[in-house]
Amino acid sequence: MYKHKVQYYETDKMLVTHHSNYIRWMEEARVDFLDRMGWPYTKLEELGIISPVIAVNGKYKKSTTFGDEVTIDVKIKEFKGVKLKLSYDFVNQNGEAVFSGESEHCFLTSEGKPMMIRVTYPDFYNAIMETYEKQ
């Protein structure tokens, strides 16, 4: 699980977190998730694997404010070899749900062509599948 402390610059005049930051936190949590899987973004990029966001959605449940600690649980919701869908559950320091979201990603070569991870990078494919099955 990834933890984020709400920073002052992420808030508005009422010290409530601006809605756009939740999408940024999804990315922070996703980067951490891949690091913990042993496949950091730097390694993926060195191998020529690009993984753009192709869809994102979210539901705001409760405001967060300056100084709050938010824990983000990332899970693989769906994986079919070309597209990866992740889910994100955010809770505050009191254990209250504050946001839930999903992001969808595809895998491309550095030239922008679709990539079958199972064939091209079976070790990465297996790491995703192992994580998916352990959830």
From 26, 6, 123, select the one nearest 75 (Cα to Cα): 26
Q: How far apart are CA 21 and CA 10, in angstroms?
A: 7
The predicted pLDDT at position 82 comes to 83
Give the mean pLDDT of 57-79. 96
- Here the tokens at position 45 are 């990029």
Give the mean pLDDT of 4-29. 94
- Here the tokens at position 37 are 């899987």
Q: How far apart are CA 85 and CA 102, in angstroms?
A: 7
CATH classification at residue 86: 3.10.129.10
Give the mean pLDDT of 98-116. 93
Domain region containing 47: 2-134
Give the mean pLDDT of 39-43. 94
* 43: confidence class by pLDDT, cuts 50, 70, 90: very high
Task: Look up the pTM and report it.
Answer: 0.92
Q: How far apart are CA 33 and CA 2, in angstroms?
A: 8
Q: Domain tally for the chain?
A: 1
28 Cβ neighbours under 8 A, 6+ residues apart: 2, 4, 72
pLDDT(110) > 90: no
